[in-house]
Amino acid sequence: MTQTQPMVFTPEQAKRYSRHIIMPQIGGSGQRKLLDAKVLLIGAGGLGSPTALYLAAAGVGTLGIVDFDDVELTNLQRQILHRTQDIGRPKVESASDTIAGINPDVRVVQHRLQLTSENAMEVLEPYDIIVDGSDNFATRYLVNDACVMLGKPCVHGSIFLFEGQAATFIPGKGCYRCLYPTPPPPGMVPSCAEAGVLGVLPGIVGCIQAIETIKIILGLGETLTGRLLLFDALSMETRQVKVRRNTACPVCGDSPTVTELIDYEEFCGLPHAEVPSANGRS
């Protein structure tokens, strides 16, 4: 996100991004920041799909995508990065093709892997902003802790039935653990595969995550830092809950006790052998 490159656009880019460039709040310099930004999406599922599509259309120059799964028929009810003809293909490949069709300016980095304590720091390190669209608590805590340790902003989103949540965690201003110090007991919160989810809902939450990401890149407005946004699709009501940095937080508090990545499956009370694929089934 540095301004080292000259602010030069090809004629096609000047046209493609003209509706950004004419906005005084964005302009050519803002569009250059978007093109220079490197964003990592955790999951190419329900949340990651709309986030990826809009960030690609907006001209975010580098999009990393972490996902280990292949496209399944049950995904297509909400995971709009993927098409019927993509069933059986790795999601990172399908996502890459879709994004290339939207905006050839975007470089997609495919991370076809399960994020673990062993590889997370290395995978996250090259990126400016991490967007968490994962579907399970072990990955969520892993991504949170790695972001705190690397000093990277994390844009959180999650969905359940008809309800969505979003928050932005900026280093030094609280983290996911400040909000939820401990994971729920295993089996307490069923997954989308077990309980279902309204197909449009991840679209709304993922778009909020995309907006937050763009605001961080451009330094515009007020992000959801220090706030958790709750959205109920049935009542069309939104609520906000204050999130304060917990000075006793084991990761981002004044005297952290977790200073390197731990065993998150154990932390979440999951037996190792039965851990499903960690990413992308949101």
List residues near Zn ion by CB under 5 A. Answer: 175, 177-178, 249, 252
What lies within 8 Å, CB to CB, of 200 at 6+ separation is 78, 233
Residue whose C-beta lies closest to Zn ion:
249
Residue with smaller CB distance to Zn ion, 250 or 269: 250
Residue with smaller CB distance to Zn ion, 16 or 152: 152
Asked if 164 and 233 count as a contact pair (C-beta separation under 8 A), the reply is yes
- The rounded distance, in Å, linking the Cα atoms of 248 and 179 is 12
CB of 117 to Zn ion, least distance (A): 18
Residue with smaller CB distance to Zn ion, 25 or 247: 247
CB of 246 to Zn ion, least distance (A): 6
Extract the tokens encoding 183. Answer: 């994971």
Tell me phi and psi for residue 4, to 5 degrees: -80, -30
- The rounded distance, in Å, linking the Cα atoms of 210 and 46 is 13
Extract the tokens encoding 121. Answer: 């720091």
Residue with smaller CB distance to Zn ion, 56 or 143: 143
CB of 181 to Zn ion, least distance (A): 8
Residue with smaller CB distance to Zn ion, 44 or 249: 249
What lies within 8 Å, CB to CB, of 86 at 6+ separation is 71, 94, 97
CB of 278 to Zn ion, least distance (A): 21
What lies within 8 Å, CB to CB, of 199 at 6+ separation is 46, 77, 78
CB of 163 to Zn ion, least distance (A): 23
